[in-house]
Structure 1
Amino acid sequence: MTAILGGGLGGLSTGYYLLKNNINNNSNLKLFLLEATNYCGGWIKTIRTKDYLFEQGPRTIRPKGTTGLNTLNMIQDLGLSEHIAPIKPDHPAAKNRMIYVRNNLHILPSSLISVFQKNQPFSKPLIYALFNDIKSPYKEMEDDSIYNFVERRFGKEIADYAISPMICGICAGDAKQISVKFLMKTLFEWEQNHGGVVKGLMKSMFNSKSAGDLELSELAKRAQEEKWNVYTIKGGLETFPDTLHNYLVENNVTVKLNSQVEEIEFVDSSSVALKNNNGITLTANHVYASIPAYSLAKLVEKQHPVLAESLYEIPFVTVAIVNLYFDTTENLIKPAFGFLVPPIENCPILGVVFDSCCIPDQNGTVLTVMLGGKWFEEKFGANPPENMLMEIALAEIRKILKIKESPTASNVNILKKCIPQYVIGHYERVDRIREYIQVNNLPISLVGCSYDGVGINDVIFSAKTQVEDSPCVFHDKPT
């Protein structure tokens, strides 16, 4: 038997790829998925009504790169192509992405010509950042924060007003702590190998770009041809994990909800015991753990305290999501994706997504306010009441967007320890964790956002990679 821990997108994707490999290998795979809650989908969750959608977690997916194209391949295979709602380059949500600085909203440059123009809050055209990189000295380093790297190569304004808010939007983190390898690994390597980003770019300009050996589906080809910026799924992003869940069940995967594993005991290199909350022990040949690193640490610390210590070292942050629906005939906002707030502004919110512009079939005005992240406890305390977060969100909406109306409907959701922080040294730590597993011949593979990227595409590709890299587990022995 092969077991998957966790029914979020990582666990569901692991099941999907195990089934695909099982079919390709003509093997008899007995597969169990154990989820501690009563719901599969992890942080992806949608509240649906006839007038609006409230996304409790992610709402859009990027189609770019190998990982993005891989997700589109999966989506087509699951039969979801006709449900895709793309945002193309000419859409306001693609062109209008804003930051809130000095009590004003500013649209970030989104075209080539805008790079040569002066755009507030930047004091110079962004092209000057390239000149800064050319004249900046080379500094040999193993890793660095993304803030320090960008400040060193492109200047403090780019670090403060472009990179720092972007990190808030992606992982609700502090750019001064997040590893440069999180988003700019290639640029960092250009600096280390060639002495600067521009120099590295010039030397790599003639390298062909491709999706590797990935065979593209018709949906992936369409996304490339139409140059999608992002996309979502009609009816809510929850449709994606729901469809994955159904696919597993239809292919005889045993999905057990409300099944909390309390301890993992590694018997030998091909046998692992999973002790659950009902006093029942399941024995598997191999385990794919897609649960957060801190949850896995609790399960293995009795037998492998060194491994648990490394897993505990991966930090996570809490984010509050406040969804707001205004039932008005007139749109209360200008069409845009939304805005982010640089940490230097010391604002109580991270940013706002304009869902009624990004998500189809919305009536009225729908907004999502994000709060907390790295600064959650500092700004709101350990356990703030939901009504307090609602009041803060509404106050900021009224101040920044000048919305005087009261929301017709609203929802507050506190996502505790939901996003891992890839701080300086993260990738080396993950390498040490996986090396420990390999050296000790532990029949476990680590999947998901704790290790290989926090985005939807990263999580899915992590599952694919770990299934392909794992020792053969398709010929299960009796348990």
Structure 2
Amino acid sequence: MAAILGGGIGGLSTGYYLLKNNLCSNNNLKLLLLEATNTCGGWIKSIKTKDYIFEQGPRTIRPKGLVGLNTLNMIQDLGLSEHVHPIKFDHPAAKNRMIYANNSLHLLPSSLKGIFQKNEPFSRPLIYALFNDLWNPYKQLKDDSIYNFVERRFGKEIADYAISPMICGICAGDAKEISVKFLMKIPFEWEQTHGGVMKGLMRSMFKTKNDNNIELSELARRAQEEKWNVYTIKGGLDNFPASLLQHLMENNVDVQLNSKVDEIKFVDSSTVKLKKKTGEEIMANHVYASIPSHVLADLVVKQHPELSQNLKDIPFVTVGLVNFYFDSDKPLISPAFGFLVPPIENSPILGVVFDSCCIPDQKGTVLTVMLGGKWFKEKFGENVTEKELFNIALREVATILNIQEQPTAHNVKILNKCIPQYIIGHYEKVEQIRQYIHDHNLPISLVGSSYDGVGINDVIYSAKTQVQCCI
């Protein structure tokens, strides 16, 4: 029997790929999924009414690259294709992305023409950043922060007003701590190999491109042909994990909710004992752990303290989310994806997503304010209340967007330790963790956002690769 710990998108995807491989190999593998809470889906949660949808976590998915196409293949296989709502490259939510700096909203360039023009808060056209890369020397490094890399190659303004807020939007983190390999692995390799990003880019243009070895579904081909920027699922993004859960249960996966595991004991190379909070013990041949690394650390600490410490060394941040619904006949915002706030502005918020522009079937104006992240405790202390976060978010929305109306409905959620931070040395740390597991012949695989990428696509692909490793 294979046991899956965690019913988030990582655990559900692990079950999906185990079923897929089980079907192909004609094995009769018994699968058990243990979820500590009373619901599956992890951080993907949607509050739904007839007038609006409040997304409590991710709200859109990118279709790009191998991992993006892989997710689209899964979505079609689950029968969700007709529920996909794409945002194409010419949609306002794709073209209009802003930052808030110097007490003003600024539209970021979205075309080639834009990089030749001066756009505030940048003091010069962005084309000058490319010259900066051509002229500047490079440092021989194994890793670096994404902030240092971008500042070195393209200048401080790009690091402060483009990359830093983008990191806030992706992982609620500090670009001065996040590894360059998190988002810019290939440009970093170009610098280290060729002395600069543009030099590496020019050389790469003369190399034969390797096509991704993946068979594309009709939905994935459509996304490429129509040039989707992002997409979501009609009726709420949590319909995606709900469909995965249904698929697992229809294929006889034993899904047990409210089943918290207190300890993992490795008996030998093919036997694992899972001790539940109730005292019940479950024996499995292999465990797929999709729970956060710091949670897993507590389960293995008695038997493997070194592994536990390495797992705990992966930091996480807490994010506050405040959803607003304004029942107004006239739109209170201009069509856009939303805006992010650079950390240099020292704001209590990370940014605001214009959900009524990004998510279909919304009435009135729907906004989501993101707060804290890396700076949550610094900004709000240890015991901030949901009411306090609501007031802060409402004040910032009124100040920045000039919305003076009171929201018709709202929801506040504090997502405690929700996003792992891929700080400098993260990938070496993960390699060290997996090497320890290999050296000690432990029947466990690590899946999910703690290790191989924080996005939905990354987590799903992590499940696929870890299942394939055990075949």
Normalised-by-shorter TM-score class: over 0.9
Q: Distance in 2 between matches of 1:110 and 1:45?
A: 30
Aligned to 1:477: none
Aligned to 2:109: 109
**Does the 8 Å CA contact 1:109/1:115 hold for their aligned counterparts?**
yes
Aligned to 2:125: 125
Secondary structure at the counterpart of residue 404 of structure 1: coil
Aligned to 1:369: 369
Aligned to 1:422: 422
- Identity over aligned pairs, percent: 75
Q: Tell me the number of residue pairs that the alignment of Structure 1 and Structure 2 aligns.
A: 471
Instruction: Structure 2: state its 5+ residue gaps.
Output: none
Aligned to 1:475: none
Q: Distance in 2 between matches of 1:265 and 1:177?
A: 34
Aligned to 2:142: 142
Q: Distance in 1 between matches of 2:94 and 2:239?
A: 23
- 1:92-126: CA deviation from partner (whole Å, max 9, x where unpaired): 00000000000000000110111111111111111
Q: Distance in 2 between matches of 1:210 and 1:142?
A: 25
Aligned to 1:187: 187
**Does the 8 Å CA contact 1:46/1:238 hold for their aligned counterparts?**
yes
**Does the 8 Å CA contact 1:65/1:211 hold for their aligned counterparts?**
no
Secondary structure at the counterpart of residue 221 of structure 2: helix
Q: TM-score, length-normalised on structure 1?
A: 0.98
Paired residue type of 1:168: C
Q: Distance in 2 between matches of 1:116 and 1:221?
A: 33
Q: Distance in 2 between matches of 1:334 and 1:425?
A: 41
Aligned to 2:329: 329
Quote how far apart the aligned CAs of 1:208 are. Answer: 4.5
Aligned to 1:360: 360
Q: Distance in 2 between matches of 1:348 and 1:206?
A: 46
Aligned to 1:467: 467
Paired residue type of 1:447: V
Quote how far apart the aligned CAs of 1:207 are. Answer: 3.4
Paired residue type of 1:436: Y
Aligned to 1:12: 12
Aligned to 2:57: 57
Quote how far apart the aligned CAs of 1:278 are. Answer: 1.0
Secondary structure at the counterpart of residue 370 of structure 1: strand
Q: Distance in 1 between matches of 2:209 and 2:71?
A: 18
Quote how far apart the aligned CAs of 1:255 are. Answer: 0.2
1:39 is aligned to 2:35: no
Q: Distance in 2 between matches of 1:284 and 1:215?
A: 33
5 Å-filtered alignment, 1:189-268, equals 189-209=189-209, 211-268=211-268
- 1:290-339: CA deviation from partner (whole Å, max 9, x where unpaired): 00000000000000000000000000000010000000000000000000
Aligned to 1:394: 394
Quote how far apart the aligned CAs of 1:210 are. Answer: 5.2
Q: Distance in 2 between matches of 1:80 and 1:32?
A: 25
Paired residue type of 1:181: K
Quote how far apart the aligned CAs of 1:206 are. Answer: 3.0
Aligned to 2:342: 342
Quote how far apart the aligned CAs of 1:466 are. Answer: 0.3
- 1:117-173: CA deviation from partner (whole Å, max 9, x where unpaired): 111111111111110000110210000000000000000000000000000000000
Aligned to 1:444: 444
5 Å-filtered alignment, 1:301-340, equals 301-340=301-340
Secondary structure at the counterpart of residue 129 of structure 1: helix
Quote how far apart the aligned CAs of 1:236 are. Answer: 0.5
1:173 is aligned to 2:194: no
- How well do the aligned residues superpose, as a CA RMSD in angstroms? 0.6
- 1:359-405: CA deviation from partner (whole Å, max 9, x where unpaired): 00000000000001000000001121100000000000000000000
Q: Distance in 1 between matches of 2:210 and 2:330?
A: 45
Secondary structure at the counterpart of residue 410 of structure 2: strand
Q: Distance in 1 between matches of 2:362 and 2:377?
A: 33
Paired residue type of 1:152: R
Q: Distance in 2 between matches of 1:453 and 1:33?
A: 22
Quote how far apart the aligned CAs of 1:89 are. Answer: 1.1
Q: Distance in 1 between matches of 2:232 and 2:212?
A: 25
Quote how far apart the aligned CAs of 1:209 are. Answer: 4.2
Paired residue type of 1:31: L
Secondary structure at the counterpart of residue 240 of structure 2: helix
Paired residue type of 1:439: D
**Does the 8 Å CA contact 1:66/1:211 hold for their aligned counterparts?**
no
Secondary structure at the counterpart of residue 228 of structure 2: coil
Cα gap change, 1:230 to 1:151, in 2 (>3 Å):
same
Secondary structure at the counterpart of residue 378 of structure 1: helix
1:435 is aligned to 2:427: no
Q: Distance in 1 between matches of 2:315 and 2:451?
A: 11
Paired residue type of 2:28: N
Q: TM-score, length-normalised on structure 2?
A: 0.99
Aligned to 1:83: 83
Quote how far apart the aligned CAs of 1:177 are. Answer: 0.2
Q: Distance in 1 between matches of 2:436 and 2:61?
A: 33
- 1:181-229: CA deviation from partner (whole Å, max 9, x where unpaired): 0000000000001111001000101334455211000100000011100
Aligned to 2:72: 72
- 1:219-263: CA deviation from partner (whole Å, max 9, x where unpaired): 000000111000000000000000000000000000000000000
- 1:29-61: CA deviation from partner (whole Å, max 9, x where unpaired): 100000000010000000000000000000000
Q: Distance in 2 between matches of 1:363 and 1:200?
A: 47
Instruction: Structure 1: state its 5+ residue gaps.
Output: 473-479
Aligned to 2:295: 295
Q: Distance in 2 between matches of 1:386 and 1:374?
A: 18
**Does the 8 Å CA contact 1:30/1:253 hold for their aligned counterparts?**
yes
Cα gap change, 1:233 to 1:63, in 2 (>3 Å):
same
Aligned to 1:97: 97
Secondary structure at the counterpart of residue 29 of structure 1: coil
